[in-house]
Amino acid sequence: MQDKDMQNILDADDDYSPTIITLTDENDETYQFEVVDEIDYNEEHYLAVVEHFDDPQKALEAEPVLIIFRVGDADEDGLETFDIVDDDEEFFEVGGIFETRLREIYEFEE
């Protein structure tokens, strides 16, 4: 790889800014997630997310878990709603799509 190519890669890394979403559950607990991918499938919009940590050490220590949300309609305050996909068939269909897409980008164990 030439130095010029390496510099392009380094410059691209500098431009990376993750999409972070903050969600509040029914008990007013807040959680932050980093969006790693999103797709439209069967007229629904889905997000693949992992928990986000402000502390880099906590991020390294945490076991990454991919969570799939279905983006729902806006609530009475105009905020988007997110539902965890818990239907097995839907989860395996959408999860399989995300797995194929993410496998091209990230290295992960099976």
Task: Dump pLDDT digits (tens) for 80-104.
Answer: 888 889 899 999 999 999 988 888 7
Q: Give the span between the Cα atoms of 40 and 109, in whole angstroms.
A: 26
Q: Give the span between the Cα atoms of 71 and 42, in whole angstroms.
A: 13
User: Token digits for 105?
Assistant: 């980008």
Q: Which pLDDT does position 16 carry in this prediction?
A: 67
- What is the model's pTM? 0.73
Q: Which pLDDT does position 41 carry in this prediction?
A: 94
pLDDT higher than 60, residue 7? no
Helix (H, G, I), strand (E, B) or coil at 95: helix
Place of tokens 């897409």: 101
Helix (H, G, I), strand (E, B) or coil at 80: strand
More confident residue, 97 or 60: 97
Q: Which pLDDT does position 5 carry in this prediction?
A: 39
Place of tokens 């818990």: 86
Q: Give the span between the Cα atoms of 110 and 66, in whole angstroms.
A: 13
